Chains A and B, each alone.
Chain A
Amino acid sequence: MSVLVYTEFENGKFKKNAHEVASYAYEVASKMGTTVTAVAINANSPESLGDYGVTKVINVQNEDLKTFNAKAYANTIAQVSAKENATIIILSSSADTKFLAPMLTAQLKAGYVPNVVAAPESTSPFQVKRTVFSNKGFAITQLDTDVKIIGVSNNAFGSVENKTDATVEDFAPDLAEEAFTTKSIEIDKVVGKATIADADIVVSGGRGLKGPENWGMIEELAEVLGAATACSKPVSDLGWRPHGEHVGQTGKPVASNLYIAIGISGAIQHLAGVSASKVKVVINTDPEAPFFKAADYGVVGDAFEVVPQLIEKLKEFKAQNA
């Protein structure tokens, strides 16, 4: 009974989180003295997962699964899980995977623990550490079900290479029409730009930037750093930026390597959603702004002076380190 991991494939390659969850699965499998089997849907070069410790890939190629459909994907993973007698299933925290996870949970009568930040504390009983209260705390949670599903937080475990030879086995799921009763009719997605969910760096602006016309420098800073752009809640409520950029407790969670907050005061709801980021930088005119208590590095200064200079200096730095 290997550990089963669902590795997401998108736009011609495995997603960054696919390598991360494979690495996590390898760690769990090592602790339990077993191997890792991955399930990949419409992926090219599935054998490349061997780089991250996967020894077998269940390769699903199916025209009906070209566009993500949560129920059909959950059914597919459930069938693979049954065929492989999997008792431990590792998932990522992407929006798509968090959509299918509870359906998979119900189908397999499993226990599901999302937002897990570390390898299991113990595998018998099975206990994992997860964030609760929107990053304001952690819980050690025990799973007592036969099938256990672990959702790994973005960027919490990291990708670890473990070169193995992966065998690839084709599998054709049996998908009834009922699996497709929700239909995707339009996808509106930025292409070629980092997303808040998987960017290494996120540059975020708050009400201190005064108006939407001032976002040029935020976008430029993000571009220099290859970062995703984000904003505080009032900024999206005011319509300065799209809702999809709102981060925090009631917006998207951020768990990047670097989070740069510009003109953001650091309200508790904002911090709750971004505190999982590893390194936090704040740029704010007010030295008393609460964000300074939560940040690693801070600049007390006017964003309109600091950010343009920072962009220039980063360009020089990038040129030298290219």
Chain B
Amino acid sequence: MKILVCLSNVPDTTSKINFTDNDTKFDTTGVQFVINPNDEFGLTRAMWFKEKQGATVHVATVGEASTEPTIRKALAIGADEAIRVNAFPEDGFFVAEQLAEIAKKGNYDLIIAGRESIDYNGGMVPGIMATLLEMNFVNTCISLEVDGNNATAIREIDGGKEKISTTLPLIIGGQKGLVAESDLRIPNMRGIMMARKKKLSVVEPISAPKATKDIKFEKPAPKGQVKLVDANNLDELINLLHNEAKAI
């Protein structure tokens, strides 16, 4: 089985978010970039397929040269090969077109992407790719088993979960649950050394239209002071929630 894991390079979850250039750009000053958490679960599941079922695992990212440490980390964790499409990932449709092109050339049986990137929260790249590539697609995927050409997936739905049976080629939008939190891997020295020798190809983007563009950014309005209610006066809390907040 040949697997492609799509990695989005995002600010660490603890990052403070600021904008610059008259609020037209995300300010990356002092921001630490990491593998998108949803993709990290997918990458770890891909490692399982590699170790238990002999899969080959490639990773791909659409990003500028500054994203290479994130790709190297994936190689250090155990991916066999990496591809970087040398373009700034400004628009989900554009990114999906680039990754679909990589996927066509590589003839993958399984493509693992994430439910959403935690930066722009698009939640669209894998679904668009699935349609462009005419592959089966399961979103918000929390469990995936592959047996020959058949796949069984569980997806999270509002209020529960759904088990789905389908066939390869398949693409998933994965998330937490695909593997246990404790299975996530930190690259070790040997992995880091080996990663240096692995192939990282850089390809130029194909021409594809951009569907959307961000004109301006805003930060949420600062929050007012919390109103504290004495623990012995919960009637007051109920009163506030009913009469002031109109929430109950």
Contacts and interface: CB of A to CB of B under 8 A. Distances in A.
Contact of B215 (A140, A294, A296): A140
Contacts of B245: 258, 278-279, 296-297
Nearest to A277: B247
B131 A102 contact: yes
A144 B211 contact: yes
A114 B119 contact: no
A187 B176 contact: no
Interface string A205-228: 000000000000000000001000
Top 8 A-B residue pairs of the complex, sorted by shortest distance between their CB atoms: A102-B127, A301-B231, A189-B160, A106-B131, A111-B211, A195-B159, A197-B158, A102-B124
Contacts of A195: 158-159
Given A140-B214, A251-B176, A294-B223, A187 B162 contact: yes
Contacts of A297: 226-229, 237, 240-241, 245
Interface stretch (A24-32, A126-134, A167-175): A126-134
Nearest to A317: B238
Interface stretch (A46-54, A57-65, A79-87, A93-101): A93-101
Contacts of B176: 243, 246, 250-251
A16 to B, nearest CB: 11
A137 interface: yes
A112 interface: yes
Interface in B151-202: 152, 155-167, 175-177, 181
A114 B158 contact: no
Contacts of A313: 234-235, 238
Contacts of B163: 184-188
A190 interface: yes
Contacts of A42: none
Interface of A: 70-71, 74, 94-96, 98-103, 105-107, 110-115, 127, 129, 131-145, 178, 181-190, 193, 195-198, 201, 225, 237, 243-244, 246, 249-252, 257-258, 268-269, 272, 275, 278-279, 281-282, 292-302, 305-306, 309-310, 313-314, 317, 321
B123 interface: yes
Contacts of B220: 135-138, 275
Contacts of B162: 184, 186-189
B23 to A, nearest CB: 9
A141 B213 contact: yes
B137 A132 contact: no
A299 B233 CA distance: 10
Contacts of A144: 210-213
Which of A96, A292, A305 has the most B CB atoms < 10 Å from its CB? A96
Given A111-B212, A196-B159, A281-B237, 9 more contacts: A132-B121, A135-B220, A142-B214, A182-B166, A183-B165, A189-B159, A293-B226, A296-B245, A297-B228
A225 B175 CA distance: 30
A196 B165 CA distance: 26
18 contacts: A98-B140, A102-B123, A102-B126, A106-B93, A106-B96, A136-B220, A139-B217, A141-B213, A142-B213, A143-B211, A188-B160, A250-B175, A279-B247, A282-B226, A299-B229, A299-B234, A299-B237, A314-B248
A193 B130 CA distance: 33
A103 B14 contact: no
Given A101-B127, A197-B159, A299-B229, A181 B167 contact: yes
Contact of B217 (A102, A137, A225): A137
